[in-house]
Chain A
Amino acid sequence: MSRFADRLRQFCPRKSQLGVCLVLLASLLTTSYAYAQQRVVHYPFGTQNMVPGAIGRAALGKRAPLRGYYQPVEVHAPKGCHIAVAVEGVFVESKKSPVNVGLLIGQVYRFQVTRIPLRPGLEVYPTIEVVDRLYPPAGKAARFPVPVILTLEEIDLALKGSLVTRVIYVENPDAALGGHEEPGEQRYFETRAQDDPLKVADVLGRPIAILRVGSRLPGQNPDASFFYGSPHLEQLPASRQIPAKPE
């Protein structure tokens, strides 16, 4: 103790300076503690005024394992709908919902949803942007795709001219809610008008993907910007559906 006091006197020879040193030391300790307690924000800018793809590309620069990784995504639409993916500027053969694809992180993919029940002739063209990835056990990536669910209500909202933004995140198990989820359903929270869904999802968990659906149509000759360059994707077989309550 005396050695520490001697060392302290070398830096603070006068009593008045000793007090200042103690205050500085206390402030340093408290600020470091407060800094350690701070919650890390992955996406400080949110989705406001951000073009599709900007958030995912920003994540690529921070986390190295995201580059070149095809994150399996399972796209759900209402029962009876058909989903087609865009390959080289053309929507290829549509498949019955759900559709499993492997998407690159940081790219924006355009989908086509047709055969909407009770809405004959109407189509929507949602986009999906993957901003993070999962880390499943080896060989189990296709078994645990990220579910992106488009409901009939959201399709109706899009057909009426609204823009629906849905941020899918991995739930924090420590703050998980009870109850069961049926296959094809996903628990969601509605944000207020002044809130950003990405920031809210960042608080609740770890954002993985962003779904945007509006009323934009491709027109007669859609250009490359409509398909966001048609980035490469992997067509995956349908994952095994697990019944919610077997037996």
Chain B
Amino acid sequence: MKVLELASYVLGLSSGYHDSAVALLKDGEIVSALQEERFSRIKQDAGFPAHALRACLAQAGIGLDDVATIYYYENPVKKLRRIWSTFCNFGMPGYANFVAEMPAWLSNKVHVKRNLRRALTQHFGAAAAAPQIAYIDHHESHAAAAFFPSPYQDAAVLCIDGVGEQATTSAWVGEGQRLTKLWEIRFPHSLGLLYSAFTYFCGFKVDSGEYKLMGLAPYGRPVYRQQIYDHLIDVKDDGSFWLDMAYFDYAVGDAMTNDKFAALFGGARREPESPLTRREFDLAASVQVVLEEVLLKIAASVQRLSGKDRLCMAGGVALNCVANGKLLASGIFKQIWVQPASSDSGGALGAALAGWHTRQAQPRATPRGDSMKASLLGTSYDDAAVAAALADCGAVASRLSDAAMLSTVADLLSQGNVVGWFQDRMEFGPRALGSRSILGDARNTKMQSVMNLKIKNRESFRPFAPVVLAEHVADWFDLGCASPYMLFVVGVQAHQRHALSAHEQALSGLEALKCQRSTIPAVTHVDYSARVQTVGADSSVRLRKLLEAFYAQTGCPVLVNTSFNVRGEPIVESPLDAYRCFMRTQMDYLVVGNYLIDKQQQPALAQDCDWRIEYALD
């Protein structure tokens, strides 16, 4: 008699701070991972991920009672211990926050299991048998998210973020289904928080403006580098570091930096949205250089200690693609794999994977390549659902065959149109990788400013990323390996660059944007760098076919690929989100599945409100 074996499901969950998310494993295979922000339309939503969980279960066709265990991505008891000891360590300056925070911590925040059970009952009913809940340490969640989905059976693992329970930086060795911690650096000494402190000081939002600081760095010179080393951070030869907390306020205060920090860098922090000055350019360049130098030292010592020649990375700092590019170029490790959802949303995935492999001692599968499924782990909409959604919106759309749609869109792009592109399953993580993207022609000299100012409504200095057919990457970029998750910044190939006149070379700050630096100016940053995404021949995403069609028409295998949203808005999740975003911006065309939507033919959007009111600036 044949015994029917039931599949085993475990769920990872992150919530409470930022980037709430869920991830579902079926017999160890990642079947779904979703961020709550995409459904709630609140950027980096910290709330209980009810919508994401519902969608996750629906995708798998199961109920909550089919889930054996929920693994939460950090340990609140350990976190409370760290907060308590921090208040003890910092004394009187922490008084106000102690009185404000500790009651909430003791009465509510530390009781995560109780709170999760209540939320599950509230959203899924008392009848839904709540699975057991277990905690995974924050950095173990990151380490698991970095190693277990990677293509390696053994590797060194490096996690760098702001802070978890106590660790801010940790190194591990991953072998098969085991993760062994080598060392850690503890709060308040944190590379992530050092970078966030400069983000704050330069007038950007902490936890989201770090991308902007990274993009700003090439406009400046690292003139504050030595000052940072002399006053803020002590770095040993092995890359371990210690921050002088006399300059920072984040440990027990409400701000990231204090007056002493301001005095060191020539006065008060830049007011958000005020004009950028030379100081912010140089501060960004300086802290970026320090981050890269410390990262290279840490990587070298991890390599020595672990003896491994492959590295996996996660944690918010692993999203610093410029530093990742330098690390890749250094050759310290032969291969590097970075978890595409490296911030706390990826913690949900890591918690599930750590629970499955290390707590339940389940072996890893050995797939060819990584097991992230191109990070396309979210919701999808079939043709009928798209048609119904567009009809509900009142959209005027025409349905094209696959071939006609691809050649038409390639043609529209080559004519300088900006196209919203909604296909396949939604991406998990902060990057749009071709499922919820806005696309443009990388050769177009006006595309960068059009996309920044008229489409995305964001700051003019921010660069755009290229997506390129993998087999052509070496002809356009200084990259010798695949980069499917857009996590490495490399140089544009020398033969694609344009020589600048003496006058152009003398331009500084945002004036530098006026130069056409390469054959693909829309994706070439002012230092000739680009954050490359490669799409391989084995990729099943429709973007691959579109790139092929564009290449066939133009001889250029590169497009601009940016996330489908406006400033402050989470990436679109549904066809309705896509249509609203399309109608509110100056995008020219929208493609949802096989439906082509021309802006010129659309009726005015009913009951619309200004996106600037709906979404707070990031």
Q: Do A and B come from one complex?
A: no
